[in-house]
Amino acid sequence: MNVADSEVVRTLLRGDGLREAESAATADVVLLNTCAIRDKAEQKVWTRLRDLRGRKGKEGQTVAVLGCMAERVKDDLFRDGLADVVVGPDAYRRLPAMLRDQEQSIDVTLDRSENYADVLPTRVEHTAHGAFVSIQRGCDNACSYCIVPYVRGRERSRSVQTILDEVASLYDSGVREITLLGQNVNSYHDHTTDSIRQTTREYTTDFTPFVKSDKKDAQTGVRFAELLERCAQAAPDARLRFTSPHPKDFPDDVLETIARVSNIAKQIHMPAQSGSDQMLRRMRRGYTGEAYRSLIQRARAVIPDVALSSDFIAGFCGESHEDHLRTLSLIQDVGYDMAFLFAYSSRERTPAARRLEDDVPSDIKKKRLQELIDAFRTGREARSRERVGKIHLILVEGAPRRDRGADLVSGRDDGNRVHVFPSSLPDGSELKPGDFAHVLVDRAEGATLIGVALRRAAGAGDRPLVDADTGAEFLIDEQTGVSRWAAEPPLVAASAHARPAVATRAFSTMATAEDAIDAILAAATPATVLGVAKDATGREARDAFLVVSRLVHPDVCTDERAGAAFAALVEAYDAFAPSDIKYDVSQAEFQGDALTTAAWMWDDAAAAARKHKARHTLDDDGSTGRSVM
Ligand code: 5AD
Ligand code: SF4
């Protein structure tokens, strides 16, 4: 939200002739856009203000504090001469005049009609392929712990047309991922525009919202599901996301729209806050743990493999150990891909601060928070392992954050997971930031997934599909209904080309299974069987093994010598792997390798099966590769 707001402010100030400075130390005016949601966020701003007034600032510099903390703290920010100008979230249009004329130094009026609909935000990085579009401001909910309704004011939505214009303009400028933003984004409602589908407001099945507005709810107009679909059409190859929603506003048509429209990310942020009914009541969330769980179930049923994330607060007023355990078990049961976990921070003026006691000691809050974090991490690891061996649709972003060697790039999948893979494709072309690609995940390293790019995807809607008969993942041309598989190089060949950056052994460039078999059967030592150096590490041996085993596995290779060659490979691999301590045979990686091997084999086997009109059957556990490792 604040990034989007800063972009609005940037447009307003540029329009008034201001330019961006190189650094805060040399600027005439410094703007701090602030958050007030937890005390920690505000403490950071105070520290920054003191720094600016101390050695890090410039003599005579104007310091303006914008946003939610400005709204909450108001003229206290002038204390000790720390701020010169204070502007709340609905008063940004006045900022240029305030800086210019210096007549007025504070404006914290909340304005029910301000939505900056006509201000096209100026993005910081023109080369970036992701952008935010604010579709709604303020919040009409009354969660008892939350300051947002007091600093951001009442909920108001932008008109459909201004949003679509902004989405289309971002798309035209090359943006390939658009995130629709709002404090309660899925209660979006433009009553001034005629709807093509929905009439009155619907809530999530079995949810009774804490605050209901019968008058507004009965109004017709465009609601969230329809807006989402129209935005997806306005940016046809781009990926569409939204945040942050409230669980009460997921009527079935929202879930169905996410499932049906191919370029909407199959990902939902579903802030639970707690797993205990007592806490949820005190928080005034308007749902029970049971209702929340059934929403999760419905989301998973309607949107297969949907990535789920959530927010949780540890140590809210009156939280008992049992309440905490209920939250823990919710986290364990759901298995979130992402979570934002916080210790409760009492905010003045909120209903909780006025009526409830902040009675969980801070060390207990911290301990519970840590337990929630640990439970979340365990669940996320399990989710990572599920992703290994599968093909994902990735938007390429650029060089990985951590230096992992040349020619590797990183990108994100629908669930916002980071994937790292070589930029080269089997056809010899290179992936660039802003491209979509199908990436086969080889293993998980912490939260990051490592894999190989198989092919370029046409856009955010060009998803790898799963063959219900064979379990193989492949693509169907929507127009002709024909699998695009046949027209492409077989995956084994793809692996040989795509892998060199990862696996630099002799065999990785071996063109055919026959060549590999000849070499294996003629080889005298384990190293030559694998095509690696005599002193290769276990990891190198394992990479070589994986590459070559895909070529000569008896399930995928029709050469009658395949069985013997494969057995020789296994033996050679065994000679290397156990003795090498540098090879981290963590359970995750080990399983990942086995599954990946299986996945490649399924793919190949599925292709072969189609060719011979025969059905290929897998072992019961679906892992033809496991027995060989
Ligand atoms: N203390 C701790 N966390 C809070 N949040 C909102 N208010 C508070 C508070 N007073 C969290 C909620 C919300 C997220 C944006 O911040 O989990 O979903
Ligand atoms: Fe705060 Fe609740 Fe509104 Fe979210 S929905 S901004 S937590 S009041």
**Nearest alpha-carbon partner for 464 in 494, 434, 485, 443:** 485
Q: Is the CB of 352 under 6 A from ligand 2?
A: no
Q: Which residue in this structure is represented by tokens 């033809």?
A: 624
Please state, in angstroms and rounded to a whole number, the distance separating the CA atoms of residues 383 and 388.
9
For ligand 2, atom 1: residue with the closest CA: 146
Nearest ligand 2 atom to the CA of 140 is: 3
Nearest ligand 1 atom to the CA of 352 is: 10
Q: How many residues does the chain have?
A: 629
pLDDT confidence of residue 565: 86
SS (H, E, C) 428-493: CCECCCCCEEEEEEEEEECCEEEEEEEEEECCCCCCCEECCCCCCEECECCCCCCECHHHCCCHHH
Query: Probe ligand 1: pick from 1, 2, 35, 38, max atoms within 8 Å of CB?
Result: 38
**Nearest alpha-carbon partner for 257 in 292, 235, 231:** 231
Q: Is the CB of 10 under 6 A from ligand 1?
A: no
Which structure tokens are listed for 238? 């781009």
Q: How far apart are the first and last CA of the chain?
A: 48
**Surface-to-core class of residue 397, CB atoms within 10 Å of its CB (0-12 exposed, 13-18 middle, 19+ buried):** buried
Distance 377 CA to ligand 2 centre (A): 25
Please state, in angstroms and rounded to a whole number, the distance separating the CA atoms of residues 210 and 214.
12
pLDDT confidence of residue 127: 58
Ligand nearest the Cα of residue 148 is: 2
Q: Is the CB of 145 under 6 A from ligand 1?
A: yes
Q: Where are the alpha helices (DSSP H) in 189-314?
A: 214-218, 224-234, 252-260, 277-283, 289-302
Distance 342 CA to ligand 1 centre (A): 7
Lowest mean pLDDT among 62-76, 155-169, 385-399: 385-399
Instruction: Give pLDDT tens digits for 192-230.
Output: 998 887 678 899 988 888 887 888 888 889 999 999 999
Dihedral of the alpha carbons of 541, 542, 546, 552, in degrees to the nearest 10: 50
Nearest ligand 2 atom to the CA of 184 is: 5
Q: Is the CB of 37 under 6 A from ligand 2?
A: no
Query: Probe ligand 2: pick from 72, 139, 242, max atoms within 8 Å of CB?
Result: 139
Distance 123 CA to ligand 2 centre (A): 26
pLDDT confidence of residue 213: 80
pLDDT confidence of residue 477: 46
Q: Is the CB of 246 under 6 A from ligand 1?
A: no
User: Which of the four pLDDT bands, split at 50, 70 and 90, describes residue 495?
Assistant: very low
Lowest mean pLDDT among 92-96, 154-158, 448-452, 574-578: 574-578
Query: Probe ligand 1: pick from 145, 284, 360, max atoms within 8 Å of CB?
Result: 145
Amino acid letter at 112? R
Q: Is the CB of 152 under 6 A from ligand 1?
A: no
Per-residue pLDDT for 503 more than 60? no
Q: Is the CB of 148 under 6 A from ligand 2?
A: yes
Query: Probe ligand 1: pick from 311, 338, 341, max atoms within 8 Å of CB?
Result: 311
pLDDT confidence of residue 542: 67
Q: Is the CB of 36 under 6 A from ligand 1?
A: no
Instruction: Give pLDDT tens digits for 263-316.
Output: 999 999 999 999 999 999 999 999 999 999 999 999 999 998 899 999 999 999
User: Which of the four pLDDT bands, split at 50, 70 and 90, describes residue 499?
Assistant: very low
CB 231 within 8 Å of CB 180: yes
- Percent of the chain residues past pLDDT 70, beyond the cut: 80
Per-residue pLDDT for 597 more than 50? no
Per-residue pLDDT for 233 more than 70? yes
pLDDT confidence of residue 466: 53
Q: Is the CB of 119 under 6 A from ligand 2?
A: no
> Once rounded to an integer, what is the mean pLDDT over residues 171-179?
94
Q: Which residue has the higher pLDDT, 375 or 426?
A: 375
User: Which of the four pLDDT bands, split at 50, 70 and 90, describes residue 563?
Assistant: confident
Instruction: Give pLDDT tens digits for 32-91.
Output: 999 999 998 899 999 999 999 887 778 888 999 999 999 999 999 998 889 999 999 999
The reported pTM is: 0.77
User: Which of the four pLDDT bands, split at 50, 70 and 90, describes residue 459?
Assistant: very high
Please state, in angstroms and rounded to a whole number, the distance separating the CA atoms of residues 210 and 285.
6
User: Which of the four pLDDT bands, split at 50, 70 and 90, describes residue 532?
Assistant: confident
Q: What is the mean pLDDT of the chain?
A: 81
pLDDT confidence of residue 385: 85
Per-residue pLDDT for 484 more than 80? no
Q: Is the CB of 248 under 6 A from ligand 2?
A: no
Lowest mean pLDDT among 298-312, 400-414, 427-441: 400-414
Strand duo 448-457 + 418-422: pairing: parallel
Please state, in angstroms and rounded to a whole number, the distance separating the CA atoms of residues 219 and 232.
24
Which structure tokens are listed for 92? 């940004």
- Supply φ then ψ for residue 304, to 5 degrees: -55, 140
Distance 202 CA to ligand 2 centre (A): 19
Q: Which residue has the higher pLDDT, 591 or 236?
A: 236
pLDDT confidence of residue 462: 85
User: Strand order of the sheet with strand 267-269?
Assistant: 267-269, 307-314, 338-343
Q: Is the CB of 184 under 6 A from ligand 2?
A: yes
Distance 340 CA to ligand 2 centre (A): 14
Please state, in angstroms and rounded to a whole number, the distance separating the CA atoms of residues 307 and 319.
28
Q: Is the CB of 311 under 6 A from ligand 1?
A: yes
Instruction: Give pLDDT tens digits for 371-381.
Output: 999 999 999 99
Contacts of 148 by beta carbon, 8 Å cutoff, 6+ apart = 37, 68, 139, 183
Distance 38 CA to ligand 1 centre (A): 7
Distance 417 CA to ligand 1 centre (A): 23
pLDDT confidence of residue 352: 96
Per-residue pLDDT for 619 more than 60? no
pLDDT confidence of residue 554: 66
Per-residue pLDDT for 493 more than 70? no
For ligand 2, atom 5: residue with the closest CA: 141
